[in-house]
Structure 1
Amino acid sequence: MKRTKGGRLALALSVAMVATALSMPVSSASKELTSLEEAGEGTSNAVQMGAADAEEEAGSSTISKEKAESLIRQYVNIPEDYVLQRTSYQTNMLTEGKRYEWNMQFQKQVNGKHIGSINASIDADSGQLMSFSSYVDNPSAKPTFPLKVDRKEAQRMAEELIGELAASYQTQLRLDEAYGADTLPPLTGGVVHQLRYERVVNGNLFNGNFIRISIDSEGHLQSFRLVWDDTITFPEAGKTLTMEEAQAALEKAADPELYYILPFNQGMGAAKPYLSYQLQPFAIDAVSGDLLGEDRYYSYRRGEVSADPLTKQPLGSKPETGQLSEKDAIAAVKDGFGLPEGSELVSSSFNDYKDEQTGKPKLQWHLNWVLKKDGKEAGNLYASVDGSTGVVQSFNQYSHHNEVKDGQGVTLERALEKAENTVKEQLPWLTDKLYTVKPDEKQYEYKQPEEIGSYSISFVHKVHGATVQYDYVNVNIDARTGEVRSFEARIADFDYAYSTPRLISESAAVTHWMDVYKPQLTYRLQEQYWLDGQPLPVEKVNLLIASGERVPDDIEKKSTVELVYQLVSRPLEDSVFLDARDGQWRSEETGEATSLDRPRATDIEGHWAEHSLELMVAYKALDLKDGEVRPGAKITRGELIKMLVLARNSGRFASYDGLANKEMSASFNDVSASSAYFAYVESALEQNLIDRGDGNFEPDATVSRDEMAELIVRALGYNPLAEYDHMFKVNFKDADGIANKGQAAIVVGLKIMTLSDGKFLPSKEVTRAEASIAFYRYLQKRAELHEAPLRI
Structure 2
Amino acid sequence: MRKVGILFTSTALSLGLATSVVHAQTQVGSQQDKIAIKVQSAETNVSKTVFIKKLKDLFPNQFNFLSENDFQLSNAHHYPDDERIRYDLSFHKTVDGKEAYGSVTFVGTDLEIESFYYEPVNVKEALFPPKISKDEAQEIALNLIKKLPNGTNYELDKNLDNYYSNQLITDPIRYEFTFVQKVNNIPVQDKRIQITVLGNGEITQLYHFSSPGDKATFDDSKKVISEQTILQKIKNNLSVNLKYRINYDYSTGEQAIDLVYQPTVLYGINALSGDWQTANGFSKNPPIKANIEKLTANPLPPKENGITVEEARAIAKQLLEIDSEKVKLTIFGVDEYENENGQAILNINFSYDWEYGGFGSSFEMNKSTGEILNYHDVKSEVLRNLGETPEKGDLTQDQGEQKAIEYLKQWVPSYLHQYAKPIDEPYLDKESGVYHFTFPRVVNGILVDGNHISVSIDSNGELYSLFVHHQEKGDWPSVSNIISADNAKQLITDSLSLKLQYMKDGSNPNSSHYSIVYTPIYNGDESSFLDATTGKWNSLYQNKEFERVTHPTAEEELNYLIQNEILKVADVSQFNADASISNGEALSILVKSLSYFYVYEVPQQENINQTFENISPNHPYYQIVERAVRMGILDSKDSFNPNDTLTREQLAVWYVRTLGLDLAARNSNIFKLTIADANKVNSKYVGYVALANAMEVLPAKNNLFDPKGEVTYADIASSIFDLSHKLHERVIPITPYY
Q: Provide TM-score, normalisation by structure 2.
A: 0.65
**Is the counterpart of residue 764 in structure 1 residue 712 in structure 2?**
no
Instruction: Give me the whole-angstrom Cα distance separating, in 2, the residues matched to 1:469 and 1:685.
Output: 41
1:16 aligns to what?
none
**Is the counterpart of residue 777 in structure 1 residue 727 in structure 2?**
no
Aligned-partner residue type, residue 561 of structure 1: I
State which structure, 1 or 2, has the greater radius of gyration over its C-alpha atoms: 1
Contact 2:196 2:206 in 1 (8 A): yes
Aligned-partner residue type, residue 69 of structure 2: D
**Is the counterpart of residue 463 in structure 1 residue 447 in structure 2?**
no
**Is the counterpart of residue 315 in structure 1 residue 299 in structure 2?**
yes
- Picking from 619, 643, 647, the partner of 2:593 is 647
Please state how far the C-alpha of 1:434 moved relative to its aligned partner: 1.0
1:561 aligns to what?
516
1:436 aligns to what?
421
Question: Residue by residue, what CA displacement relative to the aligned partner does 1:128-175 show, whole Å, maximum 9, x if unpaired?
Answer: x74276667865665542212222222333444556x369853x4433
1:725 aligns to what?
668
Question: Residue by residue, what CA displacement relative to the aligned partner does 1:647-702 show, whole Å, maximum 9, x if unpaired?
Answer: 114xx6536852577977987787788876565445434434335679x9654443
Instruction: Give me the whole-angstrom Cα distance separating, in 2, the residues matched to 1:381 and 1:102.
Output: 32
Aligned-partner residue type, residue 776 of structure 1: F
**Is the counterpart of residue 737 in structure 1 residue 681 in structure 2?**
yes
Indicate how the Cα distance of structure 1 residues 511 and 727 shifts in structure 2: closer, same or farther if over 3 A, else same: farther
Aligned-partner residue type, residue 608 of structure 1: T
2:69 aligns to what?
81
Contact 1:68 1:122 in 2 (8 A): no
1:261 aligns to what?
246
Indicate how the Cα distance of structure 1 residues 71 and 292 shifts in structure 2: closer, same or farther if over 3 A, else same: farther
Question: Residue by residue, what CA displacement relative to the aligned partner does 1:86-145 show, whole Å, maximum 9, x if unpaired?
Answer: 67598999xxxx9x988655566899xx99677575885xx7x74276667865665542
Instruction: Give me the whole-angstrom Cα distance separating, in 2, the residues matched to 1:754 and 1:659.
Output: 37
Question: Residue by residue, what CA displacement relative to the aligned partner does 1:449-470 show, whole Å, maximum 9, x if unpaired?
Answer: xx97xx8765332213444456
Aligned-partner residue type, residue 714 of structure 1: R
Instruction: Give me the whole-angstrom Cα distance separating, in 2, the residues matched to 1:622 and 1:202.
Output: 47
Contact 2:70 2:91 in 1 (8 A): yes
Aligned-partner residue type, residue 314 of structure 1: N
Contact 1:144 1:784 in 2 (8 A): no
2:157 aligns to what?
176
Aligned positions of 1:332-731 closer than 5 A: 384-386=365-367, 392=371, 416-417=401-402, 420=405, 423-424=408-409, 430-437=415-422, 443=428, 459-468=439-448, 471=451, 473=453, 489=468, 491-494=470-473, 496=475, 500=479, 502-504=481-483, 519=497, 521-527=499-505, 536-537=508-509, 557-562=512-517, 566=521, 581-582=533-534, 596-601=544-549, 604-605=550-551, 607-620=552-565, 621-625=567-571, 627-649=573-595, 653-654=597-598, 658-659=602-603, 680-690=624-634, 698-731=641-674
Question: Residue by residue, what CA displacement relative to the aligned partner does 1:206-252 show, whole Å, maximum 9, x if unpaired?
Answer: 45556655433222344667778796354127784479x96997899
Aligned-partner residue type, residue 654 of structure 1: Y
Instruction: Give me the whole-angstrom Cα distance separating, in 1, the residues matched to 2:443 and 2:242.
Output: 13
Contact 1:241 1:289 in 2 (8 A): no
| Unpaired runs of at least 5, structure 1 | 1-43, 371-378, 529-534, 538-554
Instruction: Give me the whole-angstrom Cα distance separating, in 2, the residues matched to 1:233 and 1:486.
Output: 36
1:35 aligns to what?
none
Indicate how the Cα distance of structure 1 residues 523 and 332 shifts in structure 2: closer, same or farther if over 3 A, else same: closer
**Is the counterpart of residue 194 in structure 1 residue 176 in structure 2?**
yes
Contact 2:633 2:658 in 1 (8 A): yes
Contact 2:37 2:80 in 1 (8 A): no
Instruction: Give me the whole-angstrom Cα distance separating, in 1, the residues matched to 2:477 and 2:143.
Output: 63
Aligned positions of 1:209-224 closer than 5 A: 209=191, 213-222=195-204
Partner SS, residue 525 of structure 1:
strand
Partner SS, residue 770 of structure 1:
helix
Contact 2:295 2:420 in 1 (8 A): no
Indicate how the Cα distance of structure 1 residues 709 and 579 shifts in structure 2: closer, same or farther if over 3 A, else same: farther
Please state how far the C-alpha of 1:180 moved relative to its aligned partner: 5.3
**Is the counterpart of residue 274 in structure 1 residue 257 in structure 2?**
yes
Aligned-partner residue type, residue 634 of structure 2: I
Indicate how the Cα distance of structure 1 residues 676 and 168 shifts in structure 2: closer, same or farther if over 3 A, else same: same
Contact 1:477 1:485 in 2 (8 A): yes
Aligned-partner residue type, residue 761 of structure 1: D
Question: Residue by residue, what CA displacement relative to the aligned partner does 1:36-65 show, whole Å, maximum 9, x if unpaired?
Answer: xxxxxxxx9x9999969995xx99xxxx99
Instruction: Give me the whole-angstrom Cα distance separating, in 1, the residues matched to 2:572 and 2:410.
Output: 56
| Unpaired runs of at least 5, structure 2 | 1-31, 61-65, 322-329, 352-359, 384-390
Indicate how the Cα distance of structure 1 residues 415 and 686 shifts in structure 2: closer, same or farther if over 3 A, else same: farther
Q: Number of residues paired by the alignment?
A: 656
Indicate how the Cα distance of structure 1 residues 368 and 509 shifts in structure 2: closer, same or farther if over 3 A, else same: same
Please state how far the C-alpha of 1:83 moved relative to its aligned partner: 7.3
Instruction: Give me the whole-angstrom Cα distance separating, in 2, the residues matched to 1:91 and 1:364.
Output: 36
Partner SS, residue 81 of structure 1:
helix
Partner SS, residue 277 of structure 2:
coil
Please state how far the C-alpha of 1:523 moved relative to its aligned partner: 2.7
Aligned-partner residue type, residue 643 of structure 1: I
**Is the counterpart of residue 151 in structure 1 residue 134 in structure 2?**
yes
Indicate how the Cα distance of structure 1 residues 180 and 338 shifts in structure 2: closer, same or farther if over 3 A, else same: closer
Instruction: Give me the whole-angstrom Cα distance separating, in 2, the residues matched to 1:399 and 1:563.
Output: 37
Contact 2:35 2:80 in 1 (8 A): yes
2:21 aligns to what?
none
Partner SS, residue 274 of structure 1:
strand
**Is the counterpart of residue 236 in structure 1 residue 222 in structure 2?**
yes
Please state how far the C-alpha of 1:436 moved relative to its aligned partner: 3.5
Indicate how the Cα distance of structure 1 residues 787 and 507 shifts in structure 2: closer, same or farther if over 3 A, else same: farther
Instruction: Give me the whole-angstrom Cα distance separating, in 1, the residues matched to 2:467 and 2:669.
Output: 62
Instruction: Give me the whole-angstrom Cα distance separating, in 2, the residues matched to 1:586 and 1:262.
Output: 11
Partner SS, residue 705 of structure 2:
coil
Contact 1:524 1:564 in 2 (8 A): no
Aligned-residue identity in percent: 16
Please state how far the C-alpha of 1:623 moved relative to its aligned partner: 0.8
Partner SS, residue 630 of structure 1:
coil
2:15 aligns to what?
none
Indicate how the Cα distance of structure 1 residues 85 and 630 shifts in structure 2: closer, same or farther if over 3 A, else same: closer
